[in-house]
Chain A
Amino acid sequence: MDWNEVVETQGMFRWPYAIRYGEERKISTDVLVLGGGIAGCWAAISAARKGLKVALVEKAATIRSGAGGAGCDHWVLTPNPLSEITAEEVVDTELQDTGGYTNTISRYIAARESYDTLLELENMGAKVRDEDDEFKGAEFRDENTKLLFAYDYKNRLHFRVWGTTFKPALFKECKRLGVAIYDRTMATSLLNERGEQGQRVVGATAINVRTGEFLIFKAKATILCLSRPQRIWQFQSELTGFDTLRPQTNTGDGHAIAFKAGAKFTLMEKSLAHIMGSGDGFPIYGQGNPFNTWHPCSMIDAKGNEIPWVDRDGRSLRTVRERSLPSSGQKFMGERSLTYAYRRPQLTPDLPERIKKGEFVLPLYADLPGMPEEEQRVIWGMMVREEGKTHIPIYQTYMEKGFNPNQDLLQSYLFLGSDPLRSPGLPHKRVFGEVGDCGGLLTDWDLKTTLEGLYAAGDQLFASNYHHHAAATGRYAGRKAADDALKLKEFKINRKQVEEEKKRVYEFTKQRGGLNWKELNAASSRIMQNYCGDPKNEELLNIGLIWLKDLQKNEAPNLIASDPHKLMRTLEVINILTCSEMILHACLARRASSKFLGFNRYDYPDVDPSNWHKFITIRQVANRVEIGERPIDFYGSLKGNYESKNEDYLGSSIYRR
Chain B
Amino acid sequence: MSNFVWNPWRIVSDIWQHHYLLGQLIKRDVLLRYRGAMFGVLWMFLSPLFMLIIFAFVFGQIFQARWPQQTGDLPFWLLLYSGLITFNIFAETVSRAPGAVRSYASFVKKIIFPVQILPLVPLGAALVHCAFNFLILLVALAFTGGLHWQILLFPLLLLPVVLLALGLSWFVAAWGVFIKDMTQIVPMLVQMLMFLSPVFYPVSATPPVLQPFYHFNPLGMVIETSRAVIADQPIRWDTWGLAFGLCLGAAILGHAFFEHSRDEFADAL
A and B found bound together: no
| A interface residues (Cβ-Cβ under 8 A, vs B) | none
Q: B residues bordering A, Cβ < 8 Å?
A: none
